[in-house]
Amino acid sequence: MFGELSELYQEVILDHSRQPRNFRVLDGANHQAQGANPLCGDQLTLYVDLAGEVVRDISFKGAGCAIAKASASLMTTSLKGKTRAEARALAARFRELVLAGKSDFSNSDKLAAFAGVHKFPARVKCAMLAWRTLEAALTESPERVSTE
């Protein structure tokens, strides 16, 4: 069991949980959405500044477990400069990673740190919260997102 836990809480996840990147309210965000995972208590607000179809800036605020915070942190660092379509495609790839452990992420891609999450079904919702909230934020009329 310890080997599985160390796989889940790899150093990159712990680092992004302790010191989340882009953890702030984004002044001037033109898209935002709120997400919650009531089973774990995770909640976040995602702020996105889209310039046309490009994610010019992205940030989040909220509270949650190490997996949820690290996922939001790594997501925001991965999406800057991507188009809306590229962001959605990355979200689909990440979903496959955490649901089935299937990955086309290289070992050097920090998102690959979440490969072990699929072994812990209760943690999949934690890892997916920011990404599901992103889907809502990228719509024209975002609304509250729940991962129930």
Domain boundaries defined on the chain: 2-141
CATH topology of domain 2-141: Sufe protein. Chain: A (3.90.1010)
Radius of gyration of the chain (CA): 14
Per-residue b or e along 26-51, where b marks 16 or more CB atoms closer than 10 Å to that residue's CB: beebebbbbbbbeebebbbbbbbbbe
pTM: 0.89
CB 16 within 8 A of CB 74: yes
Q: What percent of the chain has pLDDT over 70?
A: 86
Picking from 73, 89, 55, 83, the residue whose alpha carbon sits closest to that of residue 130 is 73
| pLDDT, tens digit (0-9, with 9 covering 90-100), for 72-125 | 999 999 999 999 999 999 999 999 999 998 878 887 789 989 988 999 999 999
Q: Does the structure show a pLDDT above 80 at 40? A: yes
